[in-house]
Chains A and B, each alone.
Chain A
Amino acid sequence: MTTTTAPFAYRQANWPILERIREAHIRSWERLAAPGEWWSGAERISIAAESRRASALVDGSPDPGPGPVSLPEAATFAVHKLVGDLPNVSRDWYEQTIRAEGMSDARYIELLGVVAHIWSVDEFHRALSLELEPLPDPIAGAPTQRRPVGLADHGSWPPTLAAEDLAESEADIYDGQSGAANVREAMSLHPDSVRWLSDLFDAHYLSWVEIGGEQESFRVLTRPQRELVAARVSALNECFY
């Protein structure tokens, strides 16, 4: 199931895939394999493997099998909920999940980051009917268990970091902007997930700078076309936000 390299060769692609997309996908696999703050590299790959199992369940395709290590039951359930039952994710469910054995708010946010980002890379492949990239081998090492300083309730379920409260170690996560988009701030309990989010956001959609201005010339769909696709995907997922 795993490989020591992550070439992202897109072998079946008949279309020109920009090198900047490939580079972001490779960085995603490097991030996935490395120990996080709250999960080891092996656990993070198991979370990714579970998200592929959840997707296979939804699609009715063969079970791709589990990852290298077992996960807490609540973590496995959370992955399946986030992939296959998103409209029914609720605050009550979130509160139960973070209090379950082997979980916490920080472990939940890091798990959500892995699920969402791997899901995004996989969905790019599925949209173009490309074979999914094999998951990487884990990098050894223990989670740092470092919780950011300055977390507070800013309206999302998890505590988050406001731009004005960022410590030096997290100063880069909002690219120096004085007010972060809610979706970035929502993940800030796990700052590396915010960095990962921005990297793939730029590769697949727009940079945060382009959001408020002109899009780069290599983005060939017009801005309204881009936003229409975005709105349709959000509506199909019944996402109010």
Chain B
Amino acid sequence: MLRESSDQNGTLDSLDMHGAVNPESDSGVPHGGLLTAFAEAAVRQTDALAGLREQIQDELGAQQLVDAAGVVANFQRMVRIADGCGIPLDDFTKRASEDWREELGLHEFASAANTV
């Protein structure tokens, strides 16, 4: 979805998918580092969370902060449904994502055995 939306947005060339799995990598998405840091602090409930909220509010806006909290909340749920049901990848997604899944090391995730 990240690749697809960047493609539709005309920013695929500047996208680096490593930014989604490695906090040290620049995804190329505007304010991506701040948003992924917020996501990590929210998921792990770290002490950095309050400061990152303030930073998002200052740099992006209060509505963007609430929007980001909603996306975190949604995917904290979706991963549980996906991994709790052993959802298979459809053939199209499997073929289209094979190379970068390997490159990003997603096959190392324990849940890969349930999905492929």
Q: Contact flags (1/0) for A198-231 with B, using CB distance below 8 Å?
A: 0011011100000000000001111111111111
The 8 Å CB contact of B71, one of A109, A182, A205, is A205
Distance from A192 Cβ to chain B, minimum over Cβ atoms (Å): 14
The tally of residues in A whose CB lies under 8 Å from a CB in B reads 68
Contact residues in B for A230 (Cβ distance below 8 Å): 1-2, 71, 74-75
User: Using a CB-CB cutoff of 8 Å, which residues 110-127 of chain A contact chain B?
Assistant: 112-113, 115-117, 119-121, 123-124, 126-127
CA distance A41 to B59 in the complex (A): 44
The 8 Å CB contact of B73, one of A124, A156, A237, A239, is A124
Distance from B96 Cβ to chain A, minimum over Cβ atoms (Å): 14
When A205-B71, A224-B29, A225-B31 are in contact, do A232 and B36 touch as well, CB less than 8 Å? yes
Quick check: B74 and A205 within 8 Å, CB to CB?
Answer: yes
The tally of residues in B whose CB lies under 8 Å from a CB in A reads 73
When A87-B110, A91-B114, A240-B111 are in contact, do A127 and B81 touch as well, CB less than 8 Å? no
Quick check: A228 and B61 within 8 Å, CB to CB?
Answer: no
When A123-B42, A236-B39, A240-B116 are in contact, do A221 and B71 touch as well, CB less than 8 Å? yes
A residues apposed to B, CB below 8 Å: 14-18, 21, 59, 82-83, 86-91, 94, 109, 112-113, 115-117, 119-121, 123-124, 126-129, 155-158, 182-183, 186-187, 197, 200-201, 203-205, 219-241
